[in-house]
Amino acid sequence: LNGEWIDIINSGTLPVPLGGWWLRDSSNLGYQAHGYDIPAGVSVEPGSRVRVHIGSGTNDATNLYLNRSRPLYANPSGAPKWLGDGAFLFDPQGDLLAYQM
């Protein structure tokens, strides 16, 4: 599961505090309105990244873990209604700031 991750990259020149930001997938994780809430105190430094792993581990300054027991993001299956998945990053006000599909 830790082979599936989301990188939040800061290409700017100032640190970006991520506490209160949240990630979700296309299906809204099925049970949580905000998906994964990024913990307070997490920041991404200029020219760096924070990696959010789907599996288990111990959070540190550059790695966060959702602690899920199954993969989160669906691969396309070829059927018209299964066209794949996406990751969406929102700020604390609910503004969509980045996505990858």
Which has the minimum average pLDDT: 38-42, 79-83, 89-93, 96-100? 79-83
Q: What is the pTM of this model?
A: 0.82
- pLDDT tier, 19 (very low <50, low <70, confident <90, very high otherwise): very high
Judge whether 72 and 84 are in contact, CB under 8 Å: no
Residue 85 vs residues 12, 69, 72, 88: alpha-carbon distances, Å:
27, 18, 9, 10
Q: What pLDDT digit, counting tens, does each position of 37-81 carry? A: 999 999 999 999 999 998 999 999 999 998 888 777 666 666 666
